[in-house]
Chain A
């Protein structure tokens, strides 16, 4: 079953900007789909159309088979949305914000409270339930929006940059939460700037650039397209002299750091042999950027 089916989606804003130029996209039920793209690529517009905040100029959108032009309320019941920017009343209490949202979906008060408690506890906000939203930290506000997006138990959760501005520890906690949520059967669509996040969580990736979908495939097949990778090597002793590391593309960054780029056909063993021959001892190594990021930049810059 398809959780989301977008066909030939167009959006032209009043000023004449063509934000979407015929995007077609399918997300299967149970997938963790990453929608990537540079700023202004059309990610938020796409999400806006799916959630009714933006009016489309053309094309069709179906949520679990329901055409939004035919029965938007039924489609909306299956969607939970976590927007990029805070959009709750800062003067209201945490629990009230979540319960009200449940009410807007027609969930009776008692059930709304039970659902709110479930998600506020899971997201570590239960102790803050009586606090006004304006007193929460940035990370808590993000988690509040996730709890609010889940309170009506949607089958499809859409998150627009959910970890923007969240510290590393909280981000990892959120990743864990989202992975569990997806494992429980909820389809997730995520837009993010952190490609590490997409590589870790998503099994399907779509890349939007300039209002067009330039890639839509599984993460595995996408990463296979990566034809070179850059590694950072840290040496045990300062590099005093070094001979050429041909055929590799290499450069010394500082006393104890160097960058070496390998193509798909080359092996790390060869690199280590060349370094070993020069008595350079490697203490640690890592990817310069994550693999998806490297590929993303390559595709978007084309």
Chain B
């Protein structure tokens, strides 16, 4: 087997093992949170609201909630795992080895994607307990889920590279990701907003991900799904390059 592939497999296996070893921390909390969202927003509040785009409120928010799980879990996994490797200094095991930086990035990102997509899958299964979610186009569902998970795993990695203390791990998720997700069309259609806020909302990258993913399920969207895909590809390239540049310059890992 190719040396780089062996190295990648090793990191990916280690990351995946970690997720399932500490499942009480990695898998249970997002599931409980999402069940609460379905009950409170979907059932209790949603039953009082009118349909959006021809779908009841529960069905409308379900793809957004799945996407929200993918985003937060992909990001959280990479940032916490990479920071923990820095904190325990076992990142040095990789740094002293001939493993190229792009393999290190892909290895850690694969862990973020495994967790993000696995939690997303669990939330999708749970959503069936609350609503009958149609499937308009499986291809869009899969590609939006995979690319979003990739993008947020890369973003988490950048956070992990810069993080120097435990506080740094939670600042971005709390003050940036969560507000952007709430304002990213998970709970409402941006077409319901006044024009100014609609325009402003388009500056939020999460809008494109949630909207495209919802399009895959429901076949309705505020923004062209292909625009969303193009944005995701662009983010993937930019964030991957930033990660590469940071590791090449030894930021946060070498002195």
Contact = CB atoms under 8 A, between A and B. Distances in A.
B195 interface: no
Contacts of A90: 88
B4 interface: yes
Contact of A89 (B4, B85, B250): B85
A53 B95 contact: yes
Contacts of B21: 91
A87 B254 contact: no
Contacts of B174: none
- The secondary-structure label for the interface of chain A is loop
B93 A48 contact: no
Interface string A81-118: 10101111111100010001101111111000000000
A55 B4 contact: no
Given A13-B255, A74-B98, A104 B92 contact: no
Given A54-B254, A81-B96, A106-B98, A87 B90 contact: yes
A101 B250 contact: no
Contact of A48 (B14, B100, B255): B255
Contacts of A86: 89
Nearest to B98: A73
Interface stretch (B5-13, B142-150, B162-170, B206-214): B5-13
Interface string A54-68: 110000000000000
A53 B96 contact: yes
B97 to A, nearest CB: 4
B4 A106 contact: yes
Interface residues of A, number: 34
B1 interface: yes
B81 to A, nearest CB: 10
A54 B98 CA distance: 15
B9 to A, nearest CB: 7
B132 interface: no
A213 interface: no
Contact of B9 (A77, A101, A103, A105): A103
Given A48-B255, A100-B93, A106-B7, A88 B88 contact: yes
Contacts of A108: 1, 6
14 contacts: A51-B96, A52-B254, A53-B96, A55-B255, A72-B98, A76-B96, A81-B96, A83-B92, A87-B93, A88-B90, A88-B93, A89-B85, A104-B94, A105-B97
Interface of A: 13, 48, 51-55, 72-74, 76-77, 79, 81, 83, 85-92, 96, 100-101, 103-109, 148
